[in-house]
């Protein structure tokens, strides 16, 4: 993913991955294992990445947060019961709060629909 930083303008130009790069099957398996609490912000992040109105900078940081979620070995390894996904939840929540202005009602609705499909009540 090419990225260019300009100190003069304090901007980042990044090529954002297309939705075809995100394997929803693998993503779904990880989220089902992680549980509904982790799945909601993860799906909101995914929907923000897929939404064409989301800025490239927001997409890039959402992609980084989702990559952290998908990595099995991170600050607290995901295979540790109960605590394994806690660092992932903190990372996702922090990134989403940074870009909260980009979350539209449509993004939340799409994320909620996927959440309810994957985790029926």
> Tens digit of pLDDT per residue, the chain (121 long)?
444 434 454 444 444 444 445 677 777 887 877 788 888 888 998 899 899 999 888 888 888 888 877 776 666 666 666 667 777 777 788 888 888 888 899 999 999 999 999 888 7
What is the predicted pLDDT for the residue at 21?
A: 58
For residue 49, the enclosing domain spans: 26-118
Are 99 and 45 within 8 A, CB to CB? no
Residue 20 is assigned to a structural domain of this protein: no
What is the predicted pLDDT for the residue at 42?
A: 87
Residue 84 is assigned to a structural domain of this protein: yes
pTM: 0.66
Residue 106 is assigned to a structural domain of this protein: yes
- DSSP letter at 8? T
What is the predicted pLDDT for the residue at 10?
A: 43
48: closest CA among 60, 32, 30?
Answer: 60
Domain count, the chain: 1
What is the predicted pLDDT for the residue at 115?
A: 92
Residue 18 is assigned to a structural domain of this protein: no
What is the predicted pLDDT for the residue at 82?
A: 63
Q: Which two tokens stand for residue 17?
A: 């991955």
d(CA 95, CA 109): 19
Q: Which two tokens stand for residue 42?
A: 């993860």
What is the predicted pLDDT for the residue at 113?
A: 95
Please report which residue ranges of 1-120 form alpha helices under DSSP H.
24-34, 36-50, 56-70, 86-98, 105-118
Other C-beta atoms closer than 10 Å to the C-beta of 83 total 10
Residue 49 is assigned to a structural domain of this protein: yes
- DSSP letter at 73? S
């Amino acid at each position: 993913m090419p990225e260019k930083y300009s100190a003069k303008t304090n901007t980042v130009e990044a090529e954002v991955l297309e939705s075809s790069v995100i394997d929803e099957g693998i993503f779904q398996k990880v989220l089902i294992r992680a549980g509904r609490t982790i799945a909601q912000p993860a799906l909101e992040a995914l929907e923000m990445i897929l939404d064409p109105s989301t800025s490239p900078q927001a997409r890039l940081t959402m992609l980084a947060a989702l990559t952290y979620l998908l990595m099995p070995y991170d600050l607290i390894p995901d295979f540790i019961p109960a605590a394994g996904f806690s660092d992932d939840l903190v990372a996702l929540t922090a990134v989403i709060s940074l870009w909260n202005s980009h979350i539209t009602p449509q993004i939340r609705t799409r994320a909620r629909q996927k959440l309810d499909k994957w985790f029926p009540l």
